[in-house]
Structure 1
């Protein structure tokens, strides 16, 4: 599932491919990814318009369109945004193709179509942002402590709640809590200030590396690189890792290290 580092990578691809380029045509290959906008309106609002500088908040990507609405992407479980050459073959799950002046096009690729593409005026963008917490890359330690201290539910559910902190998903949360040596099932309100400081520091380190990689890297020295093994062993202590469902998501942790 695309998380903050993936979406930041999509933003960089868009900047490389489309910034200050005009949309010459739009090929909507599957209207099932359109959210609140028709194919006709999408074509009318974008064709001939310049794409501005894309920006991101959490897992949402926003692209200003010259003098008009903002093009908004949310990638759900399987979405991505690709910068391709115009002669590159279309793939099965390429749902929307924005053809740009020059030899490039942008492709919204998505297998499961759980989210999709919107057009939003300023007030609609504000409504999206109002439902989100601060971006995970921008949260300082004091703000982080305020956001999590005393919250009901597990620490993992608090971290994954986009209205608390925007951008963290399942892989990031498991990696962050493993590095901070905190059991993901721990009630957030039971965490000491010292533990919360460790989580915030781990979040910063994990995000910095993951943004550079454009994903949560599956390194063998990371929990992420071991979680899908048949019998995963902790990269730190070598003990057997456990898994269960937390907030409806498969959660992996080390019972020896995360107490």
Structure 2
């Protein structure tokens, strides 16, 4: 599932492929990814305009044009790619943006769980994103602590709640908690000040390392590099990793590095 680092990578694709280029034509191959906008309205709003500097907010990508803004959310399988007009079209290429300079921007998504929205002004953007919490890459320590201390749920569930903190998903939350030595099932409100500070520090370090990779990298030294192994071992201590489900999400942790503080 695309998380904050992935969407940063898609933002870079948009910059390198489309920034400053005129949108010659919008081709919608599957209207199932359009939300609150028809194909014709999307074409009328965007064709003839230029993409300007894009912006990421949490897991959302905002493709500004100096007028209407195209908002993209990638769900579980969405991607943004740069292509040439004569490149073969993939079955899952849902929307194609033909650009000046012989470029084509493609929104590709297999499962179509999210998609594209059109905002005509800042009020539209605020309406679509108004329920989001602060961005995980930009949140201050004070705001982070306030957000966590007010929540009664598990810390893993809290970290992945986009209304609390925007941008973190399943892989990042498990990685950050493992690095911080905190079990995912701990109640967020039960964390001590020192534990919240440790969690904040490791969140920032993890994001700063993952963003340049444009993904949550499956490195050997990371939990994410081993969570899908048949018999996963902790890359820090060699203990067999444990699995469970929290709020319906597959969760992986190390029982030695992330002890049960209530025991």
Alignment TM class, shorter chain as reference: over 0.9
- Residue 150 of structure 1 contacts residue 190 of structure 1 at CA under 8 Å; is this kept in 2? no
Distance of 1:123 and 1:13 partners within structure 2: 26
- Does the alignment pair 1:76 with 2:75? yes
**Where does 1:1-259 land on structure 2 (aligned, <5 Å)?**
1-66=1-66, 68-121=67-120, 122-259=122-259
Q: Distance in 1 between matches of 2:32 and 2:225?
A: 33
Post-superposition shift, 1:89? 1.2
- Which aligned runs of 4 or more in structure 1 are off by greater than 6 angstroms? none
The answer to whether the 8 A contact 1:243-1:252 is kept is yes
CA-CA distance at 1:183 after TM superposition? 0.1
For 2:201 and 2:171, locate their aligned partners in 1 and report how far apart those are by CA, in whole Å. 17
Q: CA deviation at 1:147?
A: 1.2
Cα distance in 2, alignment partners of residues 179 and 85 from structure 1: 42
Query: In 2, distance between residues paired with 1:12 and 1:165?
Result: 22
The answer on whether the counterparts of 1:96 and 1:107 sit within 8 Å (CA) in structure 2 is yes
For 2:31 and 2:141, locate their aligned partners in 1 and report how far apart those are by CA, in whole Å: 42
Please give the alpha-carbon distance, in whole angstroms, between the structure 1 residues aligned to 2:202 and 2:175. 9
Question: How many corresponding residue pairs?
Answer: 258
State the TM-score, normalized to the length of structure 2. Answer: 0.96
Aligned residue for 2:137, secondary structure, equals helix
- SS state at 2:151 partner: coil
- Equivalent-residue separation in structure 1 for 2:53 and 2:158 (angstroms): 31
Cα distance, 1:159 vs. partner?
Answer: 0.4
TM-score normalised to structure 1 length: 0.98
Task: Report the Cα distance in structure 2 between the residues aligned to 1:84 and 1:203, rounded to whole angstroms.
Answer: 34
- Report the alpha carbon displacement of residue 151 of structure 1 after superposing the two structures with TM: 1.3
CA distance in 1, matches of 2:170, 2:164: 15
How far did residue 18 of structure 1 move? Answer: 0.7
Give the superposition deviation at 1:7: 0.4
- Displacement after TM superposition at 1:150 (Å): 3.7
CA distance in 1, matches of 2:53, 2:150: 38
| Partner Cα separation in structure 2 for residue 5 and residue 82 of structure 1 | 16
CA separation in 2, counterparts of 1:216 and 1:210? 5
Structure 2 gaps, min length 5: none
For structure 1, list consecutive stretches of 5 or more residues without a partner in the other structure.
none
Contact 1:77 1:114 in 2 (8 A): yes
